[in-house]
Amino acid sequence: MTAGTKGHPVATLLVSCRDRRGIVAALAQLLYGHGVNIVDAQQHTDASVGQFFQRIEFDMSEMHTDRVALERAIEEVAARFGMSYRVKYGGKSNVAIFVSRHGHCLHDLLTRYRLGEIGCSVRVVISNHPDLEEVARHFGVEFQYVPAEGEDGRGAESRALQLLEAHEVDLVVFARYMQIVSAEFVKRYEQRIINIHHSFLPAFVGQRPYHQAHERGVKLIGATAHYATADLDEGPIIEQDVARISHRDAVEDLVRKGRDLEKIVLGRAVRLHLEDRVIVYGNKTVVFE
Amino acid sequence: MTAGTKGHPVATLLVSCRDRRGIVAALAQLLYGHGVNIVDAQQHTDASVGQFFQRIEFDMSEMHTDRVALERAIEEVAARFGMSYRVKYGGKSNVAIFVSRHGHCLHDLLTRYRLGEIGCSVRVVISNHPDLEEVARHFGVEFQYVPAEGEDGRGAESRALQLLEAHEVDLVVFARYMQIVSAEFVKRYEQRIINIHHSFLPAFVGQRPYHQAHERGVKLIGATAHYATADLDEGPIIEQDVARISHRDAVEDLVRKGRDLEKIVLGRAVRLHLEDRVIVYGNKTVVFE
Amino acid sequence: MTAGTKGHPVATLLVSCRDRRGIVAALAQLLYGHGVNIVDAQQHTDASVGQFFQRIEFDMSEMHTDRVALERAIEEVAARFGMSYRVKYGGKSNVAIFVSRHGHCLHDLLTRYRLGEIGCSVRVVISNHPDLEEVARHFGVEFQYVPAEGEDGRGAESRALQLLEAHEVDLVVFARYMQIVSAEFVKRYEQRIINIHHSFLPAFVGQRPYHQAHERGVKLIGATAHYATADLDEGPIIEQDVARISHRDAVEDLVRKGRDLEKIVLGRAVRLHLEDRVIVYGNKTVVFE
Amino acid sequence: MTAGTKGHPVATLLVSCRDRRGIVAALAQLLYGHGVNIVDAQQHTDASVGQFFQRIEFDMSEMHTDRVALERAIEEVAARFGMSYRVKYGGKSNVAIFVSRHGHCLHDLLTRYRLGEIGCSVRVVISNHPDLEEVARHFGVEFQYVPAEGEDGRGAESRALQLLEAHEVDLVVFARYMQIVSAEFVKRYEQRIINIHHSFLPAFVGQRPYHQAHERGVKLIGATAHYATADLDEGPIIEQDVARISHRDAVEDLVRKGRDLEKIVLGRAVRLHLEDRVIVYGNKTVVFE
């Protein structure tokens, strides 16, 4: 179902608006009129808030107009229905990965990257520790050591922002990045920072969730990938999963089992985002798998 | 997402045809033209065989034509694209449940029925053993004891067919029914008989799958709900699930753990079928959840 | 592995004490000395608190002393090591089930009871609503309607306590019982009340967890069976499980999917307790599966 | 629960014999008599075949005899009960990993190795293709390219055997190794070769299991780690797991989702073996987790 499997360039249109009759017909008609073929379409209506969402994947190889004409047409329909929308023509997103000392998520993401699982261009790995430089190098990715400076770490943050701009980064991934970032930073990359939290949110927010889980005596541990927001661990959830544990598992075992969860949950969330399958509304997500 | 949650009568249109440009637009336009609102639409293209599938759930409360006009229009579009299609206006399907001696699936289905989880009318429970009569009665459902007769059981089968006709049955559920039925019987209710097999098919076809699983030393057991076909256990799979086991589990434990799987997998498959979410093609299913 | 599968009467010994060298040898030697055969033994040491736990299942069919002698010997060893212990000779526990209006857990437990999955004697179903009387009757179990009376419901509680005493109840199961009970009640049946909470605790404590889950936009819902304590939803967890949901699921769908979780998680917890597989320490459990 | 978490050197004793009264007591007494502390003990009796199994993890830091005396004592008890047994004093096993072209399992295993998840010494990576040399190098592990030679590949096999001997290899891991090995090779490393098969065995034995799964239309895919035997895909199963798929998944998607399964299932099986948690009997395993 991914873009790469068809052989043709595939584009996506993500749409969200108040639910009304005729939206589906208007968009289908529009695309048909331009000679564009709908490869996949998924829609959702949240009846409780009256909101409509749609993701359309389309093939432009036999389009008989051009992008400018198509976009003008989409804009017109969008205006008529009061839609927010986003079109993407299948170019690769630029990604930056932030890490601290735990390398398992970085390793896993870069392996997926090399295997072509996540279609993007990983431009830079940024870390507040020098430890994982060799991992980035092994995969041929630039590594930047940006140590926290001063009391509030703002120096480091502005250095990081410069790097993101220099690399024209579209998506930031916090792959177990243990440094707190400012509300401004988050705002600047709103809905474009994915964080992995090592618990089944909203259980065990904050520090040392595996210790909290062990203390509470739960029988499952979890991991949560979510968009970063100013309130830590409160952002829209993209993906979650859990693994079974027992009284036999010490905190060290939870950490070990949790690593597998974190890798897989983060990998899925990054892929879903890069394939334009996620729409945020309120503090929730629609995920068109 | 189910019909009952909106307050309005909801109908479904299931469509399947060779993939071509313009199908989605044609159907969306058609429904819009009759004043029908698309509540939910899901589509799928199997690129490997070039086949298109769509399920549209629509609200007719503000339709400004009538059913006859709507159906004529659908027929016309269907002819143009060479579609197979099925419309359902939300009336309740009539269901017959076949059981032998194991009552857990029957109990579970009837509990779901009473709770309104599966929107249908369970007309009759048919069994080759008298044991479960009391269960049917408790739920206020007619029970018919149809013992196997003669060498080939054909007498019993023809009696069962009479009952199905008398009750105008749309869906037959084999809820752990241990009697083999003829190819004619299966043909008569093609894609309308759901069977639960107590293994993760295609592993452990045939008799005593839990014994086979124990013998082989697998670490997970499964259950599979599928449409019955002439070849036993070979029909299109609707739903499957598994549970973890270990060396500690004797065959009796597999049977016990398996009961929970069977109940849940069969319950899901019946609900999916009754909500017109399943399209069969080849020996596979598209399931629009 | 359960008592009933061996043909012989099987007894269990549950032991807990400070970890010390020689405990395992002392108990094994003791049982051997009485001609008792160890059928299954599991142990656990929580190294972080230095506590030792063991569950021994033993066959007394060739014991060459008697119970009095055996118990005296156990008492002696227990005194030497400062053990807490509990012996059970396989007699059936008396169970009371408390329900309100949701019948799915009651139905499921009684079906398991009838199938012999949970070896006990269900003596009475107690409810603050009359609705589920027929379900209890269908399974041949006494039903007592005990409506909440007065401002604090104490009248009802004292009536319930009388019933529990009259029936010599060993285990109380809150199978979706929506009435708050007093700290005294909980104290009286400490570690002998199992409650099912319809969330993955500690997420979504309190009222309407499915609404909370929907609001937060989680991608999995859960259920938790735990021993009741004075602090609501804070007791030692026996068993948990989760199910996947998506943005497509309205609150009603969470409720429906959650029912399957609740039934299975509660069923497992009740069986584990009745087979003497659970030891509570601190606010956690050791579960010897 | 692993050796490394206690700070003391920990040894393991694995035992298997006909079930008899007094085994547990005899072993516990023996170890106590030498001043050895039992850290963890798990046992299992397969009642259907009358076989007893036990794993004892013990701490020798306060042993007041020596290894020679301890082993003589164990031998004596083993002779008395007709036991097979294996003692391991916690030294690191030597491991060889065989791969072909798919690098995900190799990458994952070596990451776990570096993180200390699997306590062993990975001595060599052997491949019939040169592609993954760089991966081995990145983790500082010797890489040997051993191309298939001649019609039956025996030349390559004897070269591989030389390497295994030179490195004193205790465990061979086939991490997606696509070359068939001879019955002699398998015999030489009986119960010491772990293979990962990319299906839920016994479903989809043989070639291209993801294609088979797609063809059959299953709703879950699996992976199986097992000991290699002369009959391909028929050896004793150590670990299995599954992942949910749908009609939306093309074969490429199954391959992608399957990679995560393969990595995790193989990683678990290797760890379980290296921690001496697996006993093979007949064609099955007892896994003491």
The one-letter amino acid at A99? V
Specify which residues C25 forms β-bridges with: none
pLDDT digits (tens, 9 = 90+) for C148-187: 866 656 788 999 999 999 999 999 999 999 888 999 999 9
Mean predicted lDDT score pLDDT of chain C: 92
Please list every residue in chain A whose beta carbon sits closer than 8 Å to the beta carbon of residue B6. 47
Q: D48, D49, D51, D200: best mutation site toward chain B, by most B Cβ within 10 Å?
A: D200
For B248, the closest chain D residue by CA position comes to D44
Contact between B42 and A42 using a beta-carbon 8 Å cutoff = yes
Q: Which chains touch A (3 or more CB pairs under 8 A)?
A: B, C, D
pLDDT of B149 > 90? The answer is no
**Consecutive H or E run containing A195:** strand A193-197
CB contact, 8 Å: D264 with chain A?
yes
Contact between B260 and C259 using a beta-carbon 8 Å cutoff = no
| Nearest residue to D1 (alpha-carbon basis) of D238, D264, D270, D275 | D275
- Polymer length in residues for chain A: 289
pLDDT at B213: 97
* String of DSSP letters for chain C: --GGGSSS-EEEEEEEEE--TTHHHHHHHHHHHTT-EEEEEEEEEETTTTEEEEEEEEE-TT-SS-HHHHHHHHHHHHHHHT-EEEEE-SPPEEEEEEE-S--HHHHHHHHHHHHTSS-EEEEEEEESSSTTHHHHHHTT-EEEE----TTT-HHHHHHHHHHHHHTT-SEEEESS--S---HHHHHHTTT-EEEEESS-TTTT-SS-HHHHHHHHT-SEEEEEEEE--SSTT-SPEEEEEEEE--TT--HHHHHHHHHHHHHHHHHHHHHHHHTT-EEEETTEEEE--
CB contact, 8 Å: D242 with chain C?
no
Peptide bond into D202 cis (omega under 30): yes
Tokens matching residue D81: 């009960």
Nearest to B107 among C111, C248, C256 (CB): C111
pLDDT at C165: 98
Instruction: Identify the band that residue D1 occupies on the pLDDT scale cut at 50, 70 and 90.
Output: very low
pLDDT digits (tens, 9 = 90+) for D192-202: 999 999 999 99
- Look at the block and give the residue holding tokens 């199910």: C243
Percentage with pLDDT > 70 across chain B: 95
pLDDT of D289 > 70? The answer is yes
Contact between D32 and C22 using a beta-carbon 8 Å cutoff = yes
Helix, strand, or coil here: B67?
helix
pLDDT of D6 > 60? The answer is no
Specify which residues D128 forms β-bridges with: none
pLDDT at A232: 77
Q: Across the A/D interface, how many CB contacts are shorter than 8 Å?
A: 43
| Nearest residue to C174 (alpha-carbon basis) of C275, C237, C105, C78 | C105
| Nearest residue to A265 (alpha-carbon basis) of A129, A192, A173, A187 | A173
pLDDT at B1: 31
Please list every residue in chain C whose beta carbon sits closer than 8 Å to the beta carbon of residue B256. 117
pLDDT at D153: 64
Provide φ and ψ at D280, rounded to 5°: -95, 135
Q: Which residues of B are catalytic?
A: 233
- Look at the block and give the residue holding tokens 């408390």: C98
Q: Across the B/D interface, how many CB contacts are shorter than 8 Å?
A: 85
| Nearest residue to B113 (alpha-carbon basis) of C246, C107, C196 | C107
Strands A10-18 and A84-88: antiparallel
pLDDT at C17: 97
CB contact, 8 Å: D1 with chain A?
yes
Helix segments in chain A, DSSP class H? 23-33, 67-81, 104-115, 133-138, 154-166, 183-188, 209-216, 251-274
Please list every residue in chain D whose beta carbon sits closer than 8 Å to the beta carbon of residue A104. 111, 115
| Nearest residue to D235 (alpha-carbon basis) of D197, D288, D274 | D197
The whole-angstrom distance between A5's CA and the closest CA on chain B is 9
Helix segments in B200-250, DSSP class H? 209-216
* A257, A221 Cβ separation under 8 angstroms: yes
Contacts of A66 (CB under 8 A, 6+ apart): none
Please list every residue in chain D whose beta carbon sits closer than 8 Å to the beta carbon of residue C38. 24-25, 43
Tokens matching residue B190: 């093609």
pLDDT of B3 > 50? The answer is no
Please list every residue in chain D whose beta carbon sits closer than 8 Å to the beta carbon of residue B250. 47-48
Percentage with pLDDT > 90 across chain A: 81
Cα–Cα distances in angstroms (integers) from residue B186 to residues B157, B173, B229, B287, in the given order: 11, 12, 6, 21
Cα–Cα distances in angstroms (integers) from residue C191 to residues B26, C230, C238, in the given order: 64, 11, 11
Contact between B111 and C104 using a beta-carbon 8 Å cutoff = yes
Active site residue C233: yes
**Consecutive H or E run containing B272:** helix B251-274
pLDDT at C151: 61
Q: With 0-12 CB in 10 A as exposed, 13-18 as middle and 19+ as buried, what is D269?
A: buried
Compute the distance between CA of residue B178 and CA of residue C113 in angstroms, rounded to an integer.
Answer: 24
Cα-Cα-Cα-Cα torsion D76, D79, D85, D87, nearest 10 degrees, comes to: 10
pLDDT of B6 > 50? The answer is no
Cα–Cα distances in angstroms (integers) from residue C277 to residues B249, C237, D38, D221, D285, in the given order: 15, 13, 21, 33, 24
Instruction: Identify the band that residue D114 occupies on the pLDDT scale cut at 50, 70 and 90.
Output: very high
The whole-angstrom distance between C43's CA and the closest CA on chain B is 15
pLDDT digits (tens, 9 = 90+) for C59-110: 999 999 999 999 999 999 999 999 999 999 888 999 999 999 999 999 999 9
The pTM score is: 0.94
Whole-complex ipTM: 0.93
pLDDT of B180 > 90? The answer is no
Over chain A (289 residues), the average pLDDT of each successive run of 10 is 48 95 92 91 90 94 93 96 93 96 96 92 97 95 89 80 98 94 94 97 94 96 97 93 96 96 98 96 94
- Look at the block and give the residue holding tokens 């159906």: B71
Of the listed ranges B112-116, D139-143, D166-170, D172-176, the least confidently predicted one is B112-116
Mean predicted lDDT score pLDDT of chain D: 92
Give the largest CA-CA distance in chain B: 64
Please list every residue in chain C whose beta carbon sits closer than 8 Å to the beta carbon of residue A289. 246
Nearest to D260 among A103, A252, A264 (CB): A264
pLDDT at A150: 63
| Complete edge-to-edge strand list for the sheet that includes strand C142-145 | C142-145, C120-127, C93-99, C171-174, C193-197, C220-227, C237-244
Contact between A117 and D2 using a beta-carbon 8 Å cutoff = no
Write the DSSP symbol of residue B163: H
Contact between A24 and B41 using a beta-carbon 8 Å cutoff = yes
* A271, A108 Cβ separation under 8 angstroms: no
Contacts of C259 (CB under 8 A, 6+ apart): B115, B117, C102, C104
Give the largest CA-CA distance in chain A: 64
Range 49-108 of B in CB contact (< 8 A) with A:
62
Q: Across the A/C interface, how many CB contacts are shorter than 8 Å?
A: 85
pLDDT at A48: 86
Mean pLDDT of D174-190: 93
Contact between A35 and B21 using a beta-carbon 8 Å cutoff = yes
